Amino acid sequence: MTLPPTTLPPTILPQTILTDATDQLAALRAGTITPRQLMADTLDRIAATNPAVNAIVALRDRETLLAEAERAPAGPLQGLPMAVKDLADTAGIVTTYGSPAFRDHLPAADSPMVARLRRAGAVIIGKTNTPEFGLGSHSFNPVYGVTRNPYDPTRSAGGSSGGAGAALACRMVALADGSDMMGSLRNPAGWNNVFGFRPSYGLVAGGGPGDLFVPQLSTEGPMARSIRDLELLLAVQSEHDPRHPHSSGPYRPKAPGGPLRIGWLGDWGGAYAMEPGVLDLYEAALGTFTALGHSVTAIAPPFSAAALWEAWTTLRSWTIAGNLGPLLRQSPDMVKPDLRWEIERGLATTASDLRRASAIRSDWFRCTAGMAVDVLALPSAQLFAFDADWHWPHQIAGTAMDSYHRWMEVVVPASLTGLPALSVPAGFGVSGTPMGLQLIGHRGQDATVLNLGRDYEAATDWIAQTPAL
């Protein structure tokens, strides 16, 4: 296994930038660094590093940010610089959703999640790059271009939270929000050697009108370089929202319990094509859990992968058509082929299609609830970071991918039923780019999954393997 360079030059980076958000906030509270200095160090780091990866976009004026840092409101994130994913509305800051149709869009109000960040004292410095409307797990768009992998800038940083993952890996920010419909937190976390957590559906309340029952496919969540930072941001993101009936927050940590039963699913009995070398990484990662006292058992596929894919693609296309169908009618030239395909597929969905998809989802939910394991383990992606100039990989290990997102099928089991899923660093491939491992828990058992991740984090040092940028 080939590892990347392991040290970011200490002469270039102030110690504060090297630490996680918890330590940065502690330094601010202790007065060993001022909010203005932390902001200045952050902006200097972005200036030095961002041109190579293109993770931060719509960066705001330096003097404005320095002044805002000094008057940040009191709260758990007071004075911490953060860049928000460019799918979340930010009042007064350009929010493009990666689409040329919204190139100059200035929202009048923050999204509910962004409003929580601001109330907690975070200083919003700009946005993190994302694919157009978050579609696809490779962060490129016609507005800002491609986000590149910090460990190999010729490769993808993943997506749709690719900008967030790359910014964290490069120490441009210490905390990042993300969103996850089809692995959009988990894939870039794995490919950027950081942690990404998709919470149980409803823990982080969404916003806006619309159907609250059928979709339930996407959620916002935290990304960070430590589990304690994930919990720090999750506590803010999951503030209870009485306007959202599914809101189950706030997140509450709990003391670790006894050993957990982990079911390893690998390539789902051969259903998921895997690039050579991907599965080889997990022997050591799973051995770490065994050494920590947890039991790890390779289990047979508990459900039909084909049925899961059928349900997923039906519900996904139907949801996307409902959200973005008007854009296709109003600005057809502004719609990329993948989005057009999703919308047209969704518009063709029948009532019987939806009923069958919902029945499959329900059967899978019942299946997971009755499984004799506490956590399912799967790779966070089916191949290592691919060429940044590709739109998406058309084959894996000789198996053709029949859609722009088929190569991310491995994330569907958690997404389809809103299960909590944590991506933890699992090592590096022979090319030197990272890969992650998904730990998937039962609905509502978010703290159990994060406690398991904390055990793993303490027993490994992957986060210390930093990119040479």
- Would you call 95 exposed, middle or buried from its count of C-beta atoms within 10 A (0-12, 13-18, 19+)? buried
- Marked catalytic residue, from 111, 139, 160, 179: 160
Q: Report, in this order, helix, strand and coil percent for the chain, each rounded to 5.
A: 40, 15, 45
Helix (H, G, I), strand (E, B) or coil at 338: helix
- Amino acid type, 119: R
Active site residue 254: no
Q: Report the alpha-carbon distance of residue 446 to residue 360 in Å, rounded.
A: 24
Task: Report the Cα 62 to chain-centroid distance in Å.
Answer: 27
Q: Report the alpha-carbon distance of residue 73 to residue 123 in Å, rounded.
A: 9
- Residue 281: DSSP 8-state: G
Active site residue 238: no
- Marked catalytic residue, from 139, 161, 184, 200: 184
Q: What is the largest CA-CA distance in the chain?
A: 63
Q: Report the alpha-carbon distance of residue 208 to residue 437 in Å, rounded.
A: 33
Evaluated on CA atoms 157, 217, 440, 273, the torsion sign reads negative
Structure token digits, residue 94: 């350009």
Q: Which of 325, 314, 319, 320 lies closest to 353, judged by CA?
A: 314
Active site residue 160: yes
Q: Report the alpha-carbon distance of residue 372 to residue 326 in Å, rounded.
A: 45
Q: Report the alpha-carbon distance of residue 185 to residue 422 in Å, rounded.
A: 9
Helix (H, G, I), strand (E, B) or coil at 248: coil
CA Rg, the chain, in Å? 21
Residues with Cβ within 8 Å of 110's Cβ and at least 6 positions away in sequence, in order, are 89, 90, 91, 118
- The pair phi, psi for residue 438, each rounded to 5°, is -85, 135
Catalogue the active-site residues: 85, 160, 184
